[in-house]
Amino acid sequence: MESSEPEPLQKLRDLVTGSHWRKCCFSGDGEFVCAGSMKQHSIYIWERASGTLFKILHGQKGETLLDVVWHPLRPIVVSVSNSITKEQISIWAQTQVVNEIALPTFSLDLLLICRIPLFSSFAVVVMSSLVV
């Protein structure tokens, strides 16, 4: 039996701007792939099986994305970015209908921004269970 080199299942890219990538991760259920652009604070989310671009999340202009992580169970993405004047953590979550209160659905909104100076104290963020 001959062994062969593995082939990629998908090749995901930004066909419009030709972004270079800094970080990527899978959603908790493995259905989506999330990647952060190297030169700007933009996060691209693709459907893994089809390779279809699902959503682009745009952070503040002038920020450089450092890292991106997807929550293992919920549709929440956390990104870390910096600029000349600030460093921040952004928490992105898909809004949902909770207790028959109509919230905007099918869009990813920036819920919270925490400014954390590099190499100093850290912040603990408690989010309401109604949001996530």
The domain segmentation of the chain, as residue ranges, is 21-115
pTM above 0.75, yes or no: no
pLDDT at 20: 75
pLDDT at 14: 66
pLDDT in tens, 52-111: 999 999 888 888 888 999 999 988 999 988 887 888 898 998 775 454 444 444 444 444
Q: How confident is the model at residue 38 (pLDDT cuts 50, 70, 90)?
A: confident
pLDDT at 87: 86
Burial class (CB in 10 A: 0-12, 13-18, 19+), 11: exposed
